[in-house]
């Protein structure tokens, strides 16, 4: 059931929202297209977040999920970074999300990813997260971390495949039980 606040606007307001989204980047990889998330993506975001497969370190109710989605989307206007929908280049199917953002309560800027169950196990998270990390590096972001729930071994493997390593000192600074994976700084050309 779509709640009233999850319903996209129509007419001139919908056009205004589309025009705003067009200001932000679209990133393409061999198989994927990453675009700014929009309100129509919320149902998939909520499904992923409320799934028992997803460990984000703390329980989230419906309001928490909506507010998390909103702050990640708002990151585009506030910081120039935010939540991106990951779609298939071939059929535009929504496969999940990646993000670079500085969420409320997080000590550092996060590189994150979450996929639908159907998209897992195909290298999509690594491909999408690597593409958005490269984008962040082009914007001058030299330090990114991934906050991963202690039982989320799939995401931990993605972080390690990308060269990230656990950072005990960052974990000590985090206000909850979470594993913090620090991504390598970008290589500087001589």
Tokens 């913090």: give the residue: 180
Residue 186, pLDDT score = 82
Pick the CATH number of 24-182 from 3.50.50.60, 3.40.630.30, 2.130.10.10, 3.40.50.300: 3.40.630.30
In the numeric block, which tokens belong to residue 44? Answer: 């998939």
Question: What is the rounded CA–CA span in Å between residue 114 and residue 177?
Answer: 19
Residue 102, pLDDT score = 93
Residue 55, pLDDT score = 61
- In the chain, how long is the greatest CA-to-CA distance? 55
Question: What is the rounded CA–CA span in Å between residue 107 and residue 104?
Answer: 9
The set of residues, in sequence order, having a beta carbon less than 8 Å from that of 63 and lying 6+ positions away, is none
* pTM exceeding the 0.95 threshold for the entire prediction: no
Under a CB-based contact definition with an 8 Å cutoff, are residues 98 and 132 in contact?
yes
Give the residues of the chain that fall short of pLDDT 70. Answer: 1, 55-59, 188-190
- Tell me which DSSP letter residue 120 carries: T
Residue 187, pLDDT score = 74
Q: What are phi and psi of 111, to 5 degrees?
A: -110, 115
Categorise residue 163: left if φ over 0, alpha if ψ from -120 to 50, beta otherwise.
Answer: left
Residue 17, pLDDT score = 78
Model pLDDT for residues 102-120, shown as the tens digit of each residue: 988 889 999 999 999 999 9
Under a CB-based contact definition with an 8 Å cutoff, are residues 145 and 101 in contact?
no
């Amino acid at each position: 059931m779509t709640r009233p606040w999850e319903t996209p606007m129509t007419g001139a307001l919908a056009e205004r929202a589309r025009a705003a989204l067009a200001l932000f980047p679209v990133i393409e990889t061999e198989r994927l297209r990453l675009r700014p998330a929009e309100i129509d993506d919320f149902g998939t975001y909520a499904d992923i977040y409320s799934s028992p497969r997803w460990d984000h370190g703390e329980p989230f109710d419906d309001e928490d999920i909506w507010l998390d989605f909103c702050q990640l989307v708002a990151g585009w206007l506030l910081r120039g970074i935010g939540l991106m929908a990951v779609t298939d280049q071939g059929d535009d199917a929504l496969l999940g999300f990646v993000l670079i953002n500085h969420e409320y309560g997080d000590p550092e800027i996060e590189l994150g990813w979450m996929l639908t169950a159907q998209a897992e196990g195909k290298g999509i998270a690594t491909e999408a997260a690597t593409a958005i990390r490269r984008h962040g590096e082009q914007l001058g972001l030299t330090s990114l971390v991934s906050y991963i729930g202690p039982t989320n071994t799939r995401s931990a493997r993605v972080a390690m495949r990308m060269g990230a390593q656990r950072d005990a000192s960052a974990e000590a600074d985090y206000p909850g039980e979470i594993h913090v994976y620090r991504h390598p700084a970008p290589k500087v050309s001589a």
